[in-house]
Structure 1
Amino acid sequence: MPDADASPATSPAEDLDLIANAAREAGRLAMGYFGHDPRVWNKENNSPVTEADLALDQYLARELRGARPGYGWLSEETTDDKARLTHERLFVVDPIDGTRAFILGEMDWSVSVAVVEGGRPIAAALYVPVQEELYLATAGDGARLNGMAIAVNGRSELSGAHVAGPRALRERTALLEAGINQDDPIRSLALRIALVADGRRDAAIATARSNDWDLAAADLLVQEAGGQLTDLDGRTLRYNRADVRHPALIATSPALREALGTVVRGVLG
């Protein structure tokens, strides 16, 4: 259980300033590798990791943990230390979300950093370096893109909705019959969800087994933009559990959540 006596004194706004600056600088570092044939390895789960992922992970750990030594740490590129479970507040980081896109020289990758407290994100920074787009949010204070307030759009009809999902769902009959427009796949799951927050997509779908680091920052962005990131039954996500994996998910406006959940449940079960 978290140690209540170790509760941080810093505000979510102060944490946001810290992670925003760190995410932006990490993106700058990543651009030094982007398009320059970085070294690539395969991890045990056969997903790729590059020397840039590891360099950003080291930078973010040094900057963030150095500034907040009392916080826990969870990153895709750091061996999971279950000591994080004893911390009320922690950083949840994906140094490069969308590594395959990064390797291929495509634009749809991002740096994702969140602060989680009590199982929910309270500050989020998502930086898209190629497009110089910085998404920020704190709990209860809205979401912004490059300083401008953003909001999910008001579509209430599933037919005609533009939905971002993984390649595995393209051309699935149930989605086509519902009249859903499946836009080009976006490799960064965090960015896929952020595009719902800023209204450029009506909804996003994630198949099962996404992880805390893929989701925490984007979850807060879409929540503060007036949307929801939930499982297919409408349950809110909880972070910093022993198992950091999540089931199939949808991000959308409240008006579309139930209808989309029904369709996606029929596809993913």
Structure 2
Amino acid sequence: MASAVSTDPQDDLKLLKSAAVHAGIIALGFFRSDLKTWTKSHSSPVSEADIAVDTFLTQALRAARPAYGWLSEETLDNTDRLSLDRVFIIDPIDGTRGFIRGDDSWTISLAVVENGVPVAGVVYAPARDEMYAAAINDGATLNNRILKAPRRTSPGWLIPAPMAVHTLLSEGGLDYERGPSYPSLAYRLVQVASGDLDAAVARRGAQDWDIAGADIILREAGVTFEDVCLGTPIYNRAETRHAALAATASPSLLSPLRSALRSVYGCPDQLQHASE
């Protein structure tokens, strides 16, 4: 890979946090307003707010780090990123459906990935004034307060899960409550880092931009985050989709979550072979 300009992950994190705050101001200007919306591939919603935030982030971040590659949900992909060591991975508004209907848990999810691994990340919920952030080997924070996910034991686990996964977990005898399922996957994941949820899962098909910002926050907070077919997620590949995902700080939850997710969503043959 061609080498990008070397920048300390803490410097990248400062850049991401500043950009997220400014992007949040832009997004809040559209929130709970007469919003223009439309659909794109796979009936996924998009709004004028998504595009406005993406435009700002493209200009602000790429001007600050012109040697970095770029991957955003709302920008046409350019495979030049595959030849670069460092890449911005961006979701301008994660949880667009919730944003459109006025739910306040949508987020701006930003990450810097180096050689496939997130080294700095932010998940910012502007309407809730919550800034989750982390840089590699430097810990995770929520509004500058250090995050360390608790390792609780049953009973009393709180886990949001799709109905099919919930059914399998219940049939397997797991003692837990079905928690809230936020429209932003990134926000749902970082609730495990804060200890508000004991685990979070994602269906097969989540994209790099859905999870890269949350990934570094989870790991720095002591949460195990895995692709249940391949293990540790790898980013900035030609294929940006992932198999089903699980996040938890409680080791005893990993096996039942992994089993239920594989049963419901399966693993593509090539992924299953690679994980053996």
User: 1:175·1:264 contact (CA, 8 Å) conserved in 2?
Assistant: no
Q: 1:81 maps to which residue?
A: 78
Change over 3 Å in CA distance of 1:150–1:137 after alignment to 2 = same
Structure 2 residues not aligned, in runs of 5+? 267-276
- 1:182 is displaced (CA, Å) by 1.4
Give the alignment of 1:1-269 within 5 angstroms.
Answer: 2-3=1-2, 6-157=3-154, 159-165=155-161, 168-169=162-163, 172-177=166-171, 178-233=174-229, 235-253=231-249, 255=251, 256-269=253-266
Separation in structure 1 between the aligned mates of residue 255 and residue 165 of structure 2, nearest angstrom = 21
Deviations 1:117-148 (A, max 9, x none): 01010000111011100011001111000000
CA distance in 2, matches of 1:29, 1:231: 33
> Once the two structures are aligned, what percentage of the paired residues are identical?
43
Query: What one-letter code is carried by the residue in structure 2 that aligns with 1:187?
Result: P
Q: CA RMSD in A?
A: 1.5
Give the Å deviation of 1:263. Answer: 3.2
Q: CA offsets per residue over residues 194-250 of structure 1, 9 Å max, x none?
A: 000111100001000000000001011100000111022571000000000000010
Q: Is the 8 A contact 2:208 2:241 kept in 1?
A: yes
User: How far has the Cα of 1:268 moved from its partner?
Assistant: 3.2
The 1-side partners of 2:160 and 2:167 are apart by 16
Q: 2: distance between equivalents of 1:128 and 1:262?
A: 31
Name the CA distance, whole Å, in 1 between partners of 2:62 and 2:27: 20
The letter for the 1-side match of 2:49 is A
Q: Structure 1 length normalisation: TM-score?
A: 0.94
The amino acid that maps onto 2:215 is D
| Aligned length in residues | 263
Instruction: Give the gaps of 5 or more residues in structure 1.
Output: none
Q: Is the 8 A contact 1:143 1:221 kept in 2?
A: yes
Aligned residues of 1:137 and 1:224 also touching (Cα < 8 A): yes
Amino acid at match of 1:92: I
The answer to whether the Cα contact below 8 Å between 1:219 and 1:228 also exists between their aligned partners in 2 is no
Q: How far apart in 1 are the matches of 2:138 and 2:17?
A: 15
Preserved contact between residue 185 and residue 202 of structure 2 (Cα < 8 Å): yes
Report the Cα distance in structure 1 between the residues aligned to 2:10 and 2:134, rounded to whole angstroms: 9
Per the alignment, do residues 160 and 254 of structure 1 end up closer, same or farther by CA in structure 2, a change over 3 Å counting?
closer
AA partner of residue 194 (structure 2) = D
